[in-house]
Structure 1
Amino acid sequence: MTFPKITMGTWAWGDSYFGNHYDEAHFKDVYQAAIAQGLTLWDTAYAYGAGASEKILGNLTQATSRDKLQLSTKFTPQLADTAADDPVATMLAGSLDRLQTDSVDLYWIHNAADVERWTPALIPLLKRGQIKRVGVSNHNLNEIKRVQEILGAAGYHLSAIQNHLSLLDRTSEIAGILDYCHQQNLTFFAYMVLEQGALTGHYTTEHPFPEDTARAQTYNPLLPMIRPLVDQLTQIGQKYDLSAAQTAMAWAMSKGTLPIIGVTKVAQVNDAAQVAHTTLSVEDIHTLERTASELGVDTIREWEQNLQEN
């Protein structure tokens, strides 16, 4: 299967974490704009709004032939029904029901809570065709290799990695995970490329994230520190007719990754579609990375392990 160059992210669909309260009707235009521009790969999870994201996406996808879509969702260990005979199959069944499909193109283990316990549970789902490919998210290099061993022993293979990667968090690259993915033909899905909006230029010390949001707690203290990088993204972007946000997306693409871009507005879909046809110069990539490294900012989040320590 050939994926589009950018994935449509739906973490904010039906999840109050981002401070929006959009309903399904709002996302209809967003979905249709993406499909019209060939952005047909959608990433969701039961963890996003306790299934609300999956349900919204599932309702909207009914207007599109299933063979024209790629659907990606996740098993989150911390939310598993451990009283069930098969917690992984149980969570997947709920996801399939909400997505209104009999299979997903990518099924992820959301984090490395227990590689030995959860990875083998994917094998029967692969055999039944309920999941077409397996990915792991927030796993370090040793855990990724162990997942490969477990799947390989059963005649299956790992297809993708989904980790945090941005100009402010390059730990997956520094830890060798990015190079390993290229060597092993694993697709690297980069999430939080825009640091939840902090690299878009929309938020400044004068206009910070709303104080009643989770993003404010993490990013408002960092806004003065990251201003030089946002300015650099804006300046370099002008050469390509890109915004600061689009330039950050283009940087992630330049690393050989498939960025996941959270979309809640049609304009964001249009921005992503434009980036899919953009290539930054090597000089501009190096300039952005040098500027970012000089900031000394750490954006590893509370749910993530430090991949460099493993």
Structure 2
Amino acid sequence: MKQLPKIALGTWSWGVGAFGGDAVFGNHLTEAQMKAVFDAAMENGLNLWDTAYAYGLGDSEKELGKFIRQQPKGSVIVSTKFTPNLADENQSDPFMSMLEGSLERLGVEEIDLYWIHNSLDVERWSPYLIPALKSGKVKAVGVSNHSLEQVKRVNEILGAEGFKIEAVQNHFSLLYRNAIDDGLLDYCQANGITFFAYMVLEQGALSGRYNVENPLPEGSMRATTYNKVLPQLAKLTNAMAEMGEAQGVSAAQIALAWAIHKGTLPIVGATKVHHVTDAAKATQIALSPEQVATLEQLAKETGVDTRGGWEGEA
């Protein structure tokens, strides 16, 4: 796999429609706004972009593809996903059908990192990764929202043909450290698997921007999830803001620095230029062991569990 930057940029908020940025986040981005974000990222050396067919049923990929086409071939590291529950069962090869659609929308001949988006029927879908790798259309593969046992099983299936999982992408934040508790992060680090951490900022709830007086945008799914727990998060986000102030950075950058400190590669949802420049600065922040311990203790004291409904018991 290519050399990866310390942070990936996520485009779940890009595009509209089912599971798109408007429905999930309450965002309505113009093409000019997305281009400004993309250009800022490339200027800051953040060339790893994460998307999925599921984000707006291909709309996120289509928007990202407009900008990838304007770059020198191979200069953008492309990460996208096969979502089992959205597979077209009328196709003779539903896996390759979704992959081909992603290649077309993104305007590339190969995907640097192709994921199975969730753990629906691991035994059925995992073997499809092998012909995708053999075809050359996929350079490396990963799994998202899989448990430790499921990750091990996929590695067994791939190992029979001489391949392996290169990356895992799971929910991971100060409020959701399941990957530490169940040993998945340790397994990844022991086996050369890059752990991509998504929702490190819990869709903005840990950004320091929102509080009881200034809740998340009403009418969005994230407002429904997080606004009710903002009072419990105040002590944690205030401490993050104080730590950040001492280093001239924000609470959000402290959250990202924590995730990097734990050995993960955070995915930052990028909808504004400052999200990109802030992310680039976060890669330079050093947290002391005492600061890390304080953050984790305060996070524990919130009593907030942000396990997503899609995560089951994994």
When the two structures are superposed, what TM-score results if normalisation uses the length of structure 1? 0.97
What is the identity, as a one-letter code, of the residue corresponding to 1:74? K
Give distance in 1, aligned partners of 2:121 and 2:114: 16
SS of 1:68 mapped into structure 2: coil
Residue aligning to 2:220: 213
The secondary structure found in structure 2 opposite 1:303 is helix
Report the alpha carbon displacement of residue 210 of structure 1 after superposing the two structures with TM. 2.1
Q: Secondary structure at the match of 1:289?
A: helix
Cα distance in 2, alignment partners of residues 175 and 296 from structure 1? 19
The CA distance in 2 between the partners of 1:221 and 1:60, in whole Å, is 37
Q: Does 1:6 align with 2:13?
A: no
Q: Distance in 1 between matches of 2:150 and 2:81?
A: 17
Q: Does 1:294 align with 2:297?
A: no
In the TM superposition, what whole-angstrom CA distance separates every residue of 1:210-247 from its partner, at most 9, and x where no partner exists?
A: 22110111001110011111011111112222100010
2:310 is matched with: 303
State the secondary structure of the residue aligned to 1:135: strand
Are 1:71 and 1:104, in contact at CA under 8 Å, matched by a contact in 2? yes
Q: Is the 8 A contact 1:138 1:305 kept in 2?
A: no
Distance 2:312 2:265 in 1: 21
The answer to whether the 8 A contact 1:252-1:258 is kept is yes
Partner of 2:232: 225
Q: Note if 1:168 corresponds to 2:169.
A: no
Q: What residue identity is the alignment partner of 1:9?
A: G
Q: Which moved more, 1:93-102 or 1:11-20?
A: 11-20
Structure 2 CA distance, aligned partners of 1:237 and 1:176? 29
Which residue of 39, 50, 53 corresponds with 1:43? 50
The aligned residue for residue 257 of structure 1 is 264
Worse overlay, 48-57 or 20-29: 20-29
Paired position in structure 2 for 1:149: 156
Counterpart Cα distance in 1 of 2:31 and 2:83:
24
Alignment of 1:119-130 (within 5 A): 119-130=126-137
Distance 2:182 2:246 in 1: 32
**Where do 4+ consecutive residues of structure 1 move more than 6 Å?**
none
Aligned length, in residue pairs: 307
Matching of residue 73 in structure 1 with residue 83 in structure 2: no
**1:178 CA displacement:** 0.5
How many angstroms does 1:298 deviate by? 0.5
1:247 aligns with 2:254: yes
Aligned-partner Cα distance in 1 for 2:54–2:81: 8
Question: Aligned to 2:189, which of 182, 190, 207?
Answer: 182
Distance 2:86 2:308 in 1: 19
Q: Is the contact made by 1:171 and 1:306 (CA closer than 8 Å) also made in structure 2?
A: no
Q: Deviations over 1:175-217 (max 9, x none)?
A: 1001111111100000000000000121111111122110111
SS in 1 for 2:309: coil
The answer for unaligned runs of 5 or more in structure 1 is none
- The alpha carbon displacement at 1:79 in A equals 0.5
The Cα RMSD (Å) is 0.8
- Matched with 1:275 is 282
> SS of the residue aligned with 2:103?
helix
C-alpha distance in structure 1 between counterparts of 2:217 and 2:273, whole Å: 22
Unaligned stretches of 5+ residues in structure 2: none
Tell me, yes or no, if the aligned pair for 1:12 and 1:18 is still in contact at 8 Å.
yes
The residue matched to 2:70 in structure 1 has which SS?
coil
Q: What is the alpha-carbon distance in structure 2 between the residues aligned to residue 237 and residue 175 of structure 1? A: 30
| Structure-1 separation of matches of 2:94 and 2:278 | 38
Moved more, 165-174 or 13-22: 13-22
CA contact (8 A) 1:135 1:162 kept: yes
Q: In 2, Cα distance between the equivalents of 1:157 and 1:66? A: 26
Give the secondary structure class of the aligned counterpart of 2:126: helix
Cα deviation, residue 64, structure 1 = 1.1
Question: After superposition, where does 1:109-128 map in structure 2 within 5 Å?
Answer: 109-128=116-135
Q: What is the letter of the counterpart of residue 42 of structure 1?
A: W
